[in-house]
Structure 1
Amino acid sequence: MRDPRTGKRFSARSTLAGEAYALAVDRILGSESGVLEALEESIAQDPRFCMALAARYMLAKEQDEQDAADFRLRALAALEDSEEWERAHIGALFLFLDDPSKNLVSTEHYVSIFGYDLVVISQLCDYLIFHGGASKLERVQRILEAADSRLKTDWAYLARLGFAVSEAGDSARGLAIVERALEQRTSSLYVMHSYAHVLYQEHLPERSSELLLQWLERYRVRAQDGALLSHIYWHLALSQLELGDSRAAWRYYREYAAPEVSSCDRVLKLADAGGFLLRAFLSEGPSVEVSKAERALCDQYESLIAHPFIALHVSVILLVAGDRVALVALRSKLEQLGTASGRVSKAIVDALLAFLEGDYQRCCSLTKALSSSDRISIGGNYIERVLLDLLEERAELLIGYSV
């Protein structure tokens, strides 16, 4: 059997094993339910199918499963029966999973040669979004646009390309590209997630709300176990805030996207909590309450506070909670660390502390001192990085009121 995405021949000794693996990859790239079941079916049909074993290792490693190493060893042992392209894929994937930072250059080189390997391309781009620094937007777009021509009509590729194009500044073109992906794979959580991000950049909350509600009505049950389902509800909650329906926004957030109920990974739980709470705080004022679970996220990420993305979302939650003592403690810790990324993190924490203390002039001075490159290097996507802009705009408004 051949891989339907690339046309390459699988080494699987069973057609059913190849079909189940291809289904699993579609579900991985679409952030859809049923990945584990498809991989287990593939391995059951051919216990020595290296591609299924490698994907199972990737999943086990992401989930911190105790037997993750067993799948790695089985995949490596099965390489003697594999195709050349499969060996290249597994070698690049395992190196990147082992140490993304150390193997970043070699992985970029790999995808420049094997530009059809969307699994590795996706892993690489996801990493760069958070750790790619000031040049990450152009870098991710360049990697995707250089992909093999056989991916150019693939829905999973188009969803990522459109997202990247929008993030790099051309949201109108990005929207058109993501819409092509949506036509092919309407049920995909990842495609709908990309669409929601681009609609936010295009300032289209009514359209976003309408489409998200329609999608959830049609696909919610099917997407029940998808990792991004809670994040889709978060986007819906944001659209309701933008439309002025605070009650609906809070209902969607508390029932489906708050950390107590979220299906997302730990980092996205933090980002969704901070992103919603700050927007609600700026809309409704200090009456916004922070739950125990939201406050607990701040303690969980204290050791990673030097990363600007973590610093932004932790300090946002502390601002909304009115916890000046904790913000001062964060600032002291960052002063002790003194790393390059810690400079941006410290400026963020200082700015939020100044806002909490009512020193809006100082808040603006601190945020305006952060360059465009500094802001991009915070990590994450526009909808997350824009929190700093929203805070700055409100501080400027409050300065005007206080004059």
Structure 2
Amino acid sequence: MRVLQVIPDLSPLTGGPVTALKALSRAQAALGVQTTIATTDHEVDKTPEIPGVSIRVFPCRWEKWRWSPGLAHFLKNNVHKFDLVSIDSLWRHTTHEAAKICRADGIPYVIKANGMLEPWSLAQKNWKKKPYLRWIESSALQNAAALHAASEMEAVNSSMKAWNSSVFILPIGIQGAPLADPDLFLRLFPELADRQVILFWGRLHYGKQPNLLIEALQLISVRHPQAFLVMAGPCEVNYLRRLKALAHDLGLSAKILFTGFLPPRIGRSACRAASVFVLPSLQESFGVAIAEAMAEGCPVVVSNRVGIAPAIDAAGAGLVTSPTAEATAAALSIVLDDVFMRTRMGQNGRRLASTEFAVEQIAARLRDVYVDVIASERRSSCWLGTSTSDDGSSVLGSLQNSTERPYS
């Protein structure tokens, strides 16, 4: 099987989608799937190397849209050589161009929306997304052989089913590895020794509510004087300035560390050093960083808007709360109060990550879906409405709020 993966970029700053694709492509190659990645050089200094995977990188001429004439030329001349094309993300030239060429060449393609069809995401910059979805992205979605949801929550809450009747649910896989050394992170930040580290690891974006964590820290600082908030991830300059101003206004500047981007090895070490990982997002189709934190045995506190929150709750790997400062603070206080609870949650999370989110398992199941797509069949249990989701709950055959296409 020859599969072409098209993604806007492979920049580490992009976060979860890039981390996931690197791990998935390596696992697919190990299964004998001939995998090629086509992408742009946006924010990439050096092309990464993935064993068994061919990576083609083309100059990005318009960063915002990831417009790349070189990539478009490659797709036009090579898409017909593949059995299937997998397209990552929406709102990018890479998606529009790949889908258009696949349709012209009669090659089936799958789109992974990364939560971009969920209501909260569609509401952001609505004035741009509404016409774009109607006049440009609609053809890509309607004519795809399938749409990939990373969680049942994404499939149910998003408008996927409104655009395409073929939707499958498959979690994002993470690369297994020996437990990281917590001292690697602590040697870089020795001031965190003997602290109860509350870790946020990921892009500091308003949708993930890092501001809420600062407010939550204030609410628990008296009860937990050793609590220290680590914000680990890239951030837009003006937003970072606002976060630091908020910390200053609340008198918390000495209890919050903004590390900037952490490479994966250091990030995993941070998860090992942390007392708890927290993500109070307003929307998260999956949550790669959460799965990686659980793989390191770190208990988690997440909002009920996170795609894998039901699995976390069922496994006893952490606490699920509403996305408010008060609820998040209460959950953090419970976890920080009880070392035995943290140990138990960490063990449960590591078990969940290794059994449900191991990339080798995910790659094998995705290969089965690809076989279905190529053969125009529906044998895999991942198809929406044919079986159960990964946490054992029923996959709904009809979706909420999907009676009409948004912006159609």
* TM-score normalised to structure 2 length: 0.32
Relative to its length, the structure with more helix (as a share) is: 1
Q: Compute the TM-score of the two structures, normalised by the length of structure 1.
A: 0.32
Which has the bigger relative contact order, CA under 8 A and spacing at least 6?
A: 2
Q: Determine which structure has the larger strand proportion and give its number.
A: 2
If you compute each CA radius of gyration, which structure gives the higher value, 1 or 2? 1
